[in-house]
Every structure is written in structure tokens, then in C-alpha cells.
């Protein structure tokens, strides 16, 4: 254990730089903030470089009881409130954050038998992306794919929105123009949401290997990606709402897929 009290400290500067995507990409690291997210990272075996806590407040009791942290006591860093604020970029700094090494994800996780994968095309809102990852985790989906044009997976707001689900299932950033044809070649059906579709998501068969493709909040799915889909579906709306946001729409469809699969015993 050691202390970092000055914002001019080299380690403090390197951690603060992780608030910027280019530095996250270069360093291959990202920040997770708060007790719950740090607990999830520890419990899921994420590769952690440091657990940094507010020295004035002390190490949160919840983390003091974590076996994984007790076994790696050298990860602990006590920091000043100024360092905590600089490295988290929030008005009210959390009592703890961790520096986590980006995982290397095997894409074969996408192609499991009867795979259910969520594919995001141009989803730029971190809250929506994080919520979709949580929903995919909740229904037991195999993975989530973020295509080009999506918000950075390791954006602090995205990470917070996942509420730890980021550590529970593979989340992969990929070029959809290359990945989706590979999926089709391996017998996976691509089902895309579209407001122009006449097929209800409740009439679509989700029991086989299927990837659900969701588009951006404002533009929907890009024409190139939509052209690769085997089927387009719509969520029926009976009231006067024009549509559901992408996170809500994805959650509705994922739970319909779960319902069908449980009924089919898959």
C-alpha cells in the first residue's frame, strides 16, 4: 500500500488521463468508480492495476471484506480528495475507484450453440449502451457487440451505466461489415429492429441462434447493416407514444427471447 497525495504525482496524472478515450486506448486501461463496480471487478477476476480510495474516509468496509483484495493488498492506494476528484471527473468524487486493464475477449463467445447476442449499430448514448449491456446480462445473453459509431465502451458514463454487467459477459467492439457476414455464414439469423417492419417482435422466432441488431437513437440502423439482416421486427405500440428508446426496446425484445427460449427448454 502507498499514498498518492498530489495531483502532480505521475500516477495520478496517468489515471486522470484515462478519462480521455485516446489515453484509454493507448494505455489499454480504464477507470471503474464506486464501491459496487470495484466489488464486481474484484469478484469477476478482472485484471486490476490499482484500487484507489479516499485516504480521509478510509477504505470502504465493503471492500475491506473482499477476499480478492485481501489477497492482493499491494493493489491498495490511499489518495487525497483532490486526486480522487481529478481522476474521476465528477462533482462528488466516489470513495474509491479502480484502474482496470482492458480484457482481451475471444470472439468465439459470439458463436456458441443457440447464441443470443445483442449488436449495437451507432448507439452513441452511454446510458442506453450501458442499460442494454445490463439487460443482456439479465437475460443470460452470450455477448454484446458494439459496432463502429457507438459510444466508447470504456467511457466512464458507459461503465457506470452497466452497473457491473460489463464484467459478467463478453462485450466486444467490432467492425459490423466484417462480423455480421461471418455470423450469417455460421448459421446465425440476424434480426434487426425497424419502425418500417410489419412483423411484431412477439411473432418472431427467437429460439434459434439469433443476433438482435439495434440502431442509434436518432437514425436507427444504418442501411448497410440493415441490408445484412435476415428479418426486421417492430415492437407494437397501442398508445400514442411514437416509439421506445433503444435501451427500452432492446430490453423488451430480449425478455421475449428469454420467454420463448425457456418455453422451448433452450
What string of pLDDT tens digits covers the 266 residues of the chain? 678 899 999 999 999 999 999 999 999 999 999 999 999 999 999 999 999 999 999 999 999 888 777 777 789 999 999 999 999 977 789 999 999 999 998 888 899 889 999 999 999 999 999 999 999 999 999 999 999 899 999 999 999 999 999 999 999 999 999 999 999 999 999 999 998 888 999 999 999 999 999 998 788 899 999 999 999 999 999 999 888 899 999 999 999 999 999 999 86
Selection from 266, 118, 109, 111 nearest residue 188 by Cα: 111
Q: What pLDDT is recorded for position 109?
A: 85
How far is 174 from 233, CA to CA, in rounded Å?
23
DSSP string, 115-178: -EEEEEES---HHHHHHHHHHHHHHT-SEEEE-TTSPPTTSHHHHHHHTTGGGTS-EEE--HHH
Q: Residue 216: what pLDDT?
A: 87
Distances in Å between the alpha carbon of 84 and those of 2, 13, 28, 31, 79? Answer: 15, 11, 21, 12, 7
pLDDT for position 232: 95
Q: What is the CATH number of domain 107-263?
A: 3.40.1280.10
Q: What is the pLDDT of residue 255?
A: 98
Query: Residue 38, SS3?
Result: helix
User: Does the predicted TM-score (pTM) go above 0.75?
Assistant: yes
**The CATH fold of domain 2-101:** 60s Ribosomal Protein L30; Chain: A; (3.30.1330)
Residue range(s) occupied by CATH 3.40.1280.10 in the chain: 107-263
Q: Give span(s): CATH 3.30.1330.30, the chain.
A: 2-101
- CA–CA distances in Å: residue 41 to residues 20, 76, 121, 129, 157: 21, 14, 27, 19, 16
CB 257 within 8 A of CB 139: yes
pLDDT at 175: 95
pLDDT at 77: 95
Amino acid at each position: 500500500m502507498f499514498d498518492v497525495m498530489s495531483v502532480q504525482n505521475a500516477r495520478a496524472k496517468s489515471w486522470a488521463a484515462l478519462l480521455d478515450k485516446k489515453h484509454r486506448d493507448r494505455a489499454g486501461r480504464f477507470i471503474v468508480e464506486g464501491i459496487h463496480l470495484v466489488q464486481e471487478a474484484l469478484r469477476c477476476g478482472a485484471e486490476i492495476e490499482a484500487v484507489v480510495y479516499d485516504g480521509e474516509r478510509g477504505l470502504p468496509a465493503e471492500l475491506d471484506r473482499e477476499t480478492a483484495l485481501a489477497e492482493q493488498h499491494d493493489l491498495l492506494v490511499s489518495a487525497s480528495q483532490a486526486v480522487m476528484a481529478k481522476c474521476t471527473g465528477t462533482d462528488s468524487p466516489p470513495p474509491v475507484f479502480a484502474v482496470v486493464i482492458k480484457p482481451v475477449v475471444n470472439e468465439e463467445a459470439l458463436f456458441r450453440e443457440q447464441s443470443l447476442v445483442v449488436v449495437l449499430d451507432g448507439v452513441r448514448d452511454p446510458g442506453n449502451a450501458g442499460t442494454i449491456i445490463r439487460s443482456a446480462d439479465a437475460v443470460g445473453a452470450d455477448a454484446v457487440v458494439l459496432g463502429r459509431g457507438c459510444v466508447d465502451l470504456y467511457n466512464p458514463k458507459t461503465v457506470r451505466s452497466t452497473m457491473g454487467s460489463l464484467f459478467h459477459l463478453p462485450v466486444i467492439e467490432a467492425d459490423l461489415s466484417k462480423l455480421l457476414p461471418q455470423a450469417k455464414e455460421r448459421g446465425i439469423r440476424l434480426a434487426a429492429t425497424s419502425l418500417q417492419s410489419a412483423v411484431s417482435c412477439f411473432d418472431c422466432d427467437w429460439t434459434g441462434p439469433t443476433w438482435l441488431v439495434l440502431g442509434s437513437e436518432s437514425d436507427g440502423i444504418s442501411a448497410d447493416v440493415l441490408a445484412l439482416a435476415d428479418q426486421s421486427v417492430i415492437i407494437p405500440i397501442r398508445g400514442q407514444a411514437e416509439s421506445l428508446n433503444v435501451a427500452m426496446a432492446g430490453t423488451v425484445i430480449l425478455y421475449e427471447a428469454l420467454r420463448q427460449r425457456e418455453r422451448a427448454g433452450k
